[in-house]
Amino acid sequence: MAPAATAYFEDELLPSWARLLDLAARLAGMPRETQDWFVGFCRGPGVSDTERLEVHCRRLLEALKQPERTLVVSLQRTPMDRQPGTIIAAWRYSLETMLQQAGVRSSCAWRWSDSETGNDDDSGGGEITLRRV
């Protein structure tokens, strides 16, 4: 089940799994500075200069492009669980979208909407659609 929040990054809707990018950074063994940046990102609304954002997003995206076996095992509830692949794809998509938006700005903002209260909920029932960037 996806986390109950909708993420908007510069008005681009991100998959709900973006709310767990801090977990992705921790599972991927990112440096403490990158893990801390994603903890701040996942806690609530914020703004970051694009240089700092790009460093952390590129670092994590590169780690998520490496062989996934360790990440998949960490995320699996059962040996046949296919959801980890979806989660990792959503994380990659989120990072690619964030980097695309950062490429045309000097700073970037994001916000979270609580799906449980119905605020700005456009989660599509937890389904994600990926697009090439």
Task: Give residues with Cβ within 8 angstroms of 131, minimum separation 6.
Answer: 93
For residue 43, pLDDT over 70 is answered with yes
Residue 2, in any domain of the structure: no
Residue 102, in any domain of the structure: yes
- Number of structural domains found in the chain: 1
Round to whole Å and give the CA distance between 95 and 56. 9
Q: What is the pTM of this model?
A: 0.79
Residue 95, in any domain of the structure: yes
Residue 96, in any domain of the structure: yes
* Residue 5 or 45, more confident: 45
Name the residue range of residue 82's domain: 7-106
Residue 24, in any domain of the structure: yes
Instruction: Identify the H or E element spanning 52.
Output: helix 50-64
Tens-digit pLDDT profile for residues 72-122: 778 887 877 788 889 999 999 999 999 999 999 999 999 998 754 444 444
Using the Cα atoms of residue 123, residue 3, residue 108 and residue 64 in order, give the sign of their dihedral. negative
Residue 29, in any domain of the structure: yes
Range 2-6, long-range pairs (CB < 8 A, 24+ positions): 2/123, 2/126, 4/114, 4/115, 4/116, 5/112, 5/113, 5/114, 5/115, 6/112, 6/113, 6/115, 6/120, 6/121, 6/122, 6/123
- Sheet (strand 5-9) strand order: 12-14, 5-9, 107-114, 46-49
Residue 1, in any domain of the structure: no
